[in-house]
Amino acid sequence: MSVQVQAQVSLKPFNTFGIEVKAAQFAQAHNDDEVRQLLAYAAERQWPVLVIGGGSNLLLTADVQALVLRMASQGIRVLSDDGQRVVVEAEAGEAWHPFVQWTLDHGMAGLENLSLIPGTVGAAPMQNIGAYGVEIKDVFAGLTALDRHTGELRDFDLQACDFGYRDSLFKRNPGRWLILRVRFALSRGTQLHLDYGPVRQRLNEQGVEQPSAQDVSTAICSIRREKLPDPLELGNAGSFFKNPVVAAVLVERIRQAHPGLVAYPQADGQVKLAAGWLIEQAGWKGFRDGDAGVHQQQALVLVNYGQASGGQLHALAQKIQGDILARFGVELEMEPNLY
Q: How confident is the model at residue 226 (pLDDT cuts 50, 70, 90)?
A: confident
For the segment 181-196, the average pLDDT, to the nearest whole number, is 90
Q: Decide if 335 is catalytic.
A: yes
Round to whole Å and give the CA distance between 4 and 248.
54
Count Cβ atoms below 10 Å from residue 171 Cβ, excluding itself: 18
Lowest mean pLDDT among 11-15, 206-210, 218-222: 206-210
The H-assigned helical ranges of the chain are 32-44, 96-105, 158-161, 169-172, 199-205, 213-227, 248-257, 275-281, 310-328
Catalytic residue among 56, 73, 115, 239: 239
CB 182 within 8 A of CB 90: yes
Give 250-278 pLDDT, tens digit per residue.
999 999 999 999 999 998 999 999 999 99
CB 185 within 8 A of CB 139: yes
Name which of 15, 117, 127, 26 is nearest 61 in CA terms: 15
Q: Decide if 168 is catalytic.
A: no
Write out the E strands in the chain: 6-10, 22-29, 49-52, 58-59, 64-71, 76-81, 85-91, 130-131, 134-135, 140-147, 153-156, 177-187, 235-239, 245-246, 263-265, 271-273, 288-289, 292-294, 301-304, 337-338
The pLDDT value recorded for residue 228 is 87
Give 113-137 pLDDT, tens digit per residue.
999 999 999 999 999 999 998 999 9
Q: How confident is the model at residue 206 (pLDDT cuts 50, 70, 90)?
A: confident
Round to whole Å and give the CA distance between 99 and 146.
22
* DSSP state at residue 109: B
Q: How confident is the model at residue 189 (pLDDT cuts 50, 70, 90)?
A: confident
CB 114 within 8 A of CB 131: yes
The pLDDT value recorded for residue 153 is 97
Q: Which amino acid is at 122?
A: G
Domains and CATH numbers, the chain: 6-71 (3.30.43.10), 76-227 (3.30.465.10), 235-338 (3.90.78.10)
Would strands 22-29 and 64-71 be described as parallel, antiparallel, or unpaired?
A: parallel
Catalytic residue among 56, 73, 166, 217: 166
201 against 322, higher pLDDT: 322
The pLDDT value recorded for residue 207 is 87
Round to whole Å and give the CA distance between 97 and 112.
10
Q: Decide if 212 is catalytic.
A: no
Name which of 12, 51, 9, 19 is nearest 311 in CA terms: 19
